[in-house]
Amino acid sequence: MRYLPTLLLLTLLCTCAPPAPAEDAPMADLHEWPVDQPRKFILDSDTANEIDDLFAIAYLLAEDDPTIEWLGLSSAQWYHVWSGDSTVYQSQQLNEDMLRIADRMDLPHPLGADIIMGKPWGDYDARDSPAAQFIVEQAMALPPGEKLAVMCIGASTNLASAIALKPEIADRLVAYTLGFRYDFNGQFWNKDEFNIRRDLNAANYLLNAEGLELHVMPISVAIQYTWAMDTTFDHLSRAGEMGTYLRRRWETNATNDPKRTMWDVALLQAFLKPEQAPETSVLTPPENTQRAVWMYTDIDEVAMETDFWERVK
pLDDT (average), residues 40-58: 97
Which residue ranges make up each domain of the chain? 5-15+39-311
Gyration radius (Cα) of the chain, Å: 18
Helices 263-272, 301-311: axis angle to 10 degrees equals 80
Average pLDDT for residues 207-236, to the nearest whole number?
97
Q: Are the C-beta atoms of residues 77 and 93 closer than 8 Å to each other?
A: no
> CB-side exposure of 98: number of CA atoms within 13 Å?
29
| pLDDT tens, position by position, 9-37 | 444 444 445 555 555 668 999 999 999 99
- What phi, psi does 16 have (nearest 5°)? -70, 165
| Average pLDDT of the residues in 272-295 | 98
Whether 138 and 71 have beta carbons less than 8 Å apart is answered as yes
Task: Give the separation between CA 190 and CA 285, rounded to whole angstroms.
Answer: 9
Note whether 57 and 75 are within 8 A (CB).
Answer: no
What sections of 65-141 are H helices per DSSP?
A: 87-101, 130-140
Strands 39-45 and 148-152: what pairing? parallel
Do residues 46 and 77 touch, judged by C-beta distance below 8 A? Answer: yes
- Threshold 0.85, pTM exceeds: yes
Average pLDDT value over all residues in the chain: 92
| Band (253; pLDDT cuts 50, 70, 90) | confident
Q: Is the pLDDT of residue 5 over 80?
A: no
300-303's contacts with Cβ under 8 Å and 24+ in sequence apart are: 300/276, 301/224, 301/225, 301/226, 301/266, 303/273, 303/276
- E strand or H helix at 175: strand 173-178
In DSSP notation, 199-229 reads: -HHHHHHHHH-TT-EEEEE-HHHHTT-EEEH
Q: What pLDDT, on the 0 to 100 scale, is given for residue 134? A: 98
The mean per-residue pLDDT over the stretch 124-146 comes to 97
pLDDT tens-digit series, residues 153-178 = 999 999 999 999 999 999 999 999 99
- pLDDT at 247 > cutoff 50: yes
Instruction: Give the residue among 91, 167, 87 at the shortest CA–CA distance from 132.
Output: 167
Give every CB contact of residue 298 below 8 A, 6+ residues apart in sequence. Answer: 15, 221, 224, 277, 278
CATH domain 5-15+39-311 topology: Inosine-uridine Nucleoside N-ribohydrolase; Chain A (3.90.245)
Contacts of 100 (CB under 8 A, 6+ apart): none
214 Cβ neighbours under 8 A, 6+ residues apart: 28, 175, 177, 206, 207, 293, 294
Question: How wide is the angle at C-alpha 269 spanned by C-alphas 33 and 256, nearest 5°?
Answer: 160
